[in-house]
Amino acid sequence: MRNPIRIVILVAALAAVALVVGTAISLAQAPAKPRAAATLTSAKVVQCNRGATAEERLATFRAGMLKVRGTARMAVRLTLEESVAGGRYSTVTAPGLRVWRKSRSGVGAFAYRQRVKALAEGSAYRVKVEYRWLQADGSVLKSASRRSKACRQTDPLPNLRVQRVGGRATGTPNQVRYAVSVTNGGLAPASASRVLLWVDGAVAGRVAVPPLALGQVTRVFLNGPRCTTGVGAQADTDLLVRESDETDNVRSAACPAAQ
């Protein structure tokens, strides 16, 4: 008999959800023009860990949505689905799932994360997300649904991370040559990607990262303004690489000493 799946709630109500280099931004106003459901909603796998034991095998799913005109509150409901040995997906029943999670009143965007632990080896998992836009009286103004990609407990995946951000002065006043070290700590090679650098909270640029073998580290370089408060970088900023963990791509640091 397989171990029962346990549900752990990570983040129950993110009122501000626009993620820009690791910073949450509140969207107080509704979109000016009507948008299709596909542009108003998201359903993602942000963490997919494999391992020899049930405790190591887990997945984290994220559902997000944006406000439409006339919305008072927003709500999402996640249903976990499992495919055993490549078969058809079926609904998994577990505590904490299939519960409507509502936003605070008046926010412009809403996101919800849910972690699933003790996944069965050899299976694949995804979530069906249902979305509701609610009016002030609680009635449903608009609804939609979509499914996330799968977290597969079979195929090994790469895992890109920023290992270090350094820098040194250039011959140009107030310009620094930044060096970003990117490593692949996963279980499979990583295809080409890009890394984003920000300095003092502002984006300084993006630069290509070549394919990386297992355990390989590479350094990429780009020029940016002199740092006064702090620097940071995000690996695979365009989400081109499917990774075992999408939550550890960002690294922040103090300003490089040698700048």
Kindly give, in sequence order, each residue whose CB lies less than 8 Å from that of residue 147, ignoring residues fewer than 6 positions away.
43, 81, 126, 127, 128, 129
How far, in Å, CA of 145 to CA of 77, rounded? 9
Where does a domain end: 128, 152, 176?
A: 152
Where does a domain end: 152, 176, 202?
A: 152
pLDDT at 37: 60
Same-domain check for residues 165 and 199: yes
To which H or E segment does residue 211 belong? none
- Whether the model pTM is above 0.75: no
Distance of CA 107 to CAs 65, 85, 175, 206, Å? 11, 41, 39, 31
Same-domain check for residues 106 and 171: no
CATH number for the domain harbouring residue 194: 2.60.40.10
Mean of all residue pLDDT scores within the chain: 85
Question: What domain count does the chain have?
Answer: 2
pLDDT band at residue 52 under the 50/70/90 scheme: confident
Same-domain check for residues 17 and 143: yes
Helices (H), the chain: 37-40
- As a whole number, mean pLDDT of residues 42-58 equals 89
258: in domain? no
| One-letter amino acid for residue 13 of the chain | A
Same-domain check for residues 69 and 181: no
pLDDT band at residue 17 under the 50/70/90 scheme: very low
First-to-final CA distance of the chain? 59
pLDDT at 26: 31
How far, in Å, CA of 1 to CA of 32, rounded? 53
What residues make up the domain containing 63? 6-152
Same-domain check for residues 174 and 131: no
